[in-house]
Amino acid sequence: MLEKLKDAEQKYISIEESLSSPDIFSNQEKYTALMKEYKLLTPIIEKYRQYKSAEAECKELKEMLDEPLDADMRELAASEYKEAKAKIEAFTEELKILLLPRDPNDSKNVMVEIRSGAGGEEAALFAAVLYRMYTMYAEATGFKTSVMNVNETELGGYKEITFMIEGDGAYSRFKFESGVHRVQRVPETESQGRIQTSTATVAVLPEAADITVECCKSSGAGGQHINKTESAVRITHKPTGIVIECQEERSQFKNRDKALKMLKTKLYDIKLTEQNEKIASDRKSQVGTGDRSERIRTYNYPQGRITDHRIGLTLYSLESFVNGNIGAMIDALITADTAEKLKSQNS
């Protein structure tokens, strides 16, 4: 671990020097890439330097304790030595976590798909609750959301809704939401007051990257109404070769936005790259069929509780939770995942 940290610090210093170079600063693509790497390394290097400081302090105190000291001075040095040793142990554990392999998708925007599962209209209404919950959480934490596709029911529920969540680290916060969500409550459509169990499925995929955007003149029939400016847009997704063209709008910006949405939706629906095949495989194993018995989380309205069955955590704050206060649950899932990775690393 220490060798890795030494190498990381040398790389960090090298990046610092590069970032101050006029040649790098004038190359925005290179500068952005280096800044991203610099930001990822910063918490690791800061913690490593704290570790080295504690280690140096510990060594100095150990040398002091090997010398003849009066009783009071020895007691003070021994106490400080013990504190320094505890710091080293704490920093070591923190560094182990910081050095865990990062999910390469963690910093990406995400596309979220919510579908009603078992339970008919009540399942569609629950899908709408989940959509509202996620958008409220996203707004509170500084993420932007935009609807890509929606299939609404007469009562205001959703058979299906797909939306984007944009912002640095969006995938890292939402990726554990994939799976079957189960609700137990008296439906609005139930006149006898009976509790019904329904489900909705959630799938979270990282946003597709590696695209090129070209602008060109609109073509086709239209006579004098043809837009002779370069408002048409052609988008190419490099890994798959998918090409999307849009010239419906007179505005280049609107055509670009519409074409990007079409591309994102298309990439979401197909498995064309190795990465997306893996994600799709994970999605299938997590989401399943949407049956009531397949669930990652239960929302029990009569008892006012939410239980995440993967980590065995129950919170008695359902009203607050469905109003977007889901951060504590997400933090617990991230902590559990980190602990599992550390366990695998040490075994």
Task: Identify the pLDDT of residue 150.
Answer: 86
Query: What backbone torsions phi and psi does residue 231 show, to the nearest 5 degrees?
Result: -100, -20
Task: Identify the pLDDT of residue 220.
Answer: 44
Contact 165, 138 (CB under 8 A): yes
Measure the N-to-C terminal CA separation of the chain; round to a whole number of Å. Answer: 16
Alpha-carbon dihedral 179, 184, 185, 186, rounded to 10 degrees? 110
Task: Identify the pLDDT of residue 216.
Answer: 59
Contact 204, 287 (CB under 8 A): no
Task: Identify the pLDDT of residue 250.
Answer: 65
Neighbouring C-alpha atoms within 13 Å toward the C-beta of 312: 0
Task: Identify the pLDDT of residue 299.
Answer: 97
Task: Identify the pLDDT of residue 264.
Answer: 67
Amino acid at 260: L
Task: Identify the pLDDT of residue 174.
Answer: 95
Q: What is the pLDDT along the chain (347 residues), one digit of tens a residue?
A: 788 888 888 888 888 888 888 888 778 888 888 888 888 888 888 988 999 999 999 998 888 888 888 888 888 988 998 998 999 988 888 888 777 777 778 888 888 999 999 888 999 999 999 999 999 999 999 999 988 778 899 888 999 998 889 998 899 999 999 999 999 998 876 667 788 899 999 988 887 665 555 555 555 444 444 444 556 777 776 767 777 777 666 667 777 777 776 776 666 565 434 444 554 454 444 444 444 446 899 999 999 999 999 999 999 999 999 999 999 999 999 888 888 877 776 65
Q: What is the 3-state secondary structure (H, E, C) of the chain?
A: CHHHHHHHHHHHHHHHHHHCCHHHHCCHHHHHHHHHHHHHHHHHHHHHHHHHHHHHHHHHHHHHHCCCCCHHHHHHHHHHHHHHHHHHHHHHHHHHHHCCCCCCCCCCCEEEEEEECCCCHHHHHHHHHHHHHHHHHHHHCCCEEEEEEEEECCCCCEEEEEEEEECCCHHHHHHHHCEEEEEEECCCCCCCCCCEEEEEEEEEEECCCCEEEEEECCCCCCHHHCCCCCCEEEEEECCCCEEEEECCCCCHHHHHHHHHHHHHHHHHHCCCCHHHHHHHHHHHHHHCCCCCCCCCEEEECCCCEEEECCCCEEECCHHHHHCCCCHHHHHHHHHHHHHHHHHHHHC
Torsion sign across C-alpha atoms 126, 132, 137, 138: positive
Task: Identify the pLDDT of residue 347.
Answer: 56
Amino acid at 94: E
